[in-house]
Amino acid sequence: MQNTIYIKHEIANILNIAKIITIHYFEFGKNYRFHGESHDFWEIMYADKGHVCITKGEKEFMLEQGEMLFLRPNLYHNLCSDGKHSANVFFISFETSSAPMSYFEDKVIKIPEHLKKLISEIIREGKSAFILPMPDPKIRKLIPKEDSMIGSQQMIRLDLEKLLIMLLRYEQQNDSNHQLFTSKSKFDDHIAAQIKQMLEDNIYGKITVSQISERLHYGKTHLSAAFRKVYGRSMINYYTYLKVEESKKLIREQNLSIQEISACLKFDTPQYFSKRFKQYTGMSPTEYLLSVKMD
């Protein structure tokens, strides 16, 4: 009996949430004031009831009921009540490196009615997954519940990703002139640039394709194809090239031996380093050193 051959399709993930930092549902009094902060991750504020005064960067405005504010990483912000009315505000902060998030930078979006249920689901799953006592802005760590419903933490991520994707669709329908990263080439450019930066940041360390895939939350096949398409070589090939170029600089400086340079750049052995060096330069490290001394 002949086996049927199926082609396995790798899911294209347009938007991934890597980590959830905080979840809060605040019931503010009329005189509440938060003195402000900035942090290296995204934050969403949603005015569920009433309104609050917001400062983001140097701009002040009123976040009205039903509106959602997106705060990009490292943007200073604070908020306060208006001195007359109480307000209920939902907050969630998270890490993501997905390209489409650039559309949301510092935006205020009026949430359509059909998407508000997703916000309620995130709040419900948050209460199931974590111990959320009376709101305290000083809380910096989520504490998981031992008796949480199965999959509740994952549901938070899925509901948040769905909310963001649905908002992108909603905004695109109402703004036909904005492409919202519908161009695959633009999306691949962004992903490839992120990979390139990670490789450059780890010249003196070790990073694998699997680790890059885990950090960016995209499949290895998709990442490899995007990088090769943009830069014309594989990730490992480019990574080795970066290390060899750095080793040439170290050799010219003549402060370290060939063995020490090999160890600094995390090559497995000096022999493997010499093999790769010659592959990229046409000469051994020692030959390159002699050529430098002759200059």
Report the CATH number that the domain containing residue 250 is assigned in CATH.
Answer: 1.10.10.60
Per-residue pLDDT of the chain (295 residues; tens, 9 = 90+): 677 888 877 777 778 898 999 998 888 888 988 888 899 999 999 999 999 999 988 888 999 999 999 999 999 999 999 888 899 999 999 999 887 888 898 889 999 999 999 999 999 999 899 887 655 556 678 889 888 899 999 999 999 999 999 999 888 777 655 555 545 666 778 788 889 999 999 999 999 998 988 787 777 888 898 899 888 999 999 999 999 999 999 999 889 999 999 999 999 999 999 999 999 999 999 999 888 776 5
Structural domain span for residue 191: 183-295
**139 and 227 within one domain:** no
Dist CA 211 CA 218 (whole Å): 11
Residue 133 is part of a domain; what is its CATH number?
2.60.120.280
- Residue 253 and residue 146 in one domain: no
Please report how the helices 184-201 and 235-253 are oriented relative to each other, as an axis angle in degrees rounded to 10: 40
The sign of the dihedral angle between the CA atoms of 27, 31, 32, 37 is positive
- Is the four-CA dihedral 89, 95, 100, 101 of positive or negative sign? positive
**Nearest Cα residue to 254 out of 292, 284, 280:** 292
Nearest CA to 68 among 123, 115, 5, 100?
A: 115
Residues in the chain: 295
Say if CB 248 and CB 272 are below 8 A apart.
Answer: no
3-class state of residue 158 by DSSP = helix
User: Residue 52, Cβ neighbours under 10 Å: how many?
Assistant: 25
How many DSSP H helices and E strands does the chain contain?
Answer: 9, 9
Residue 86 lies in a domain: yes
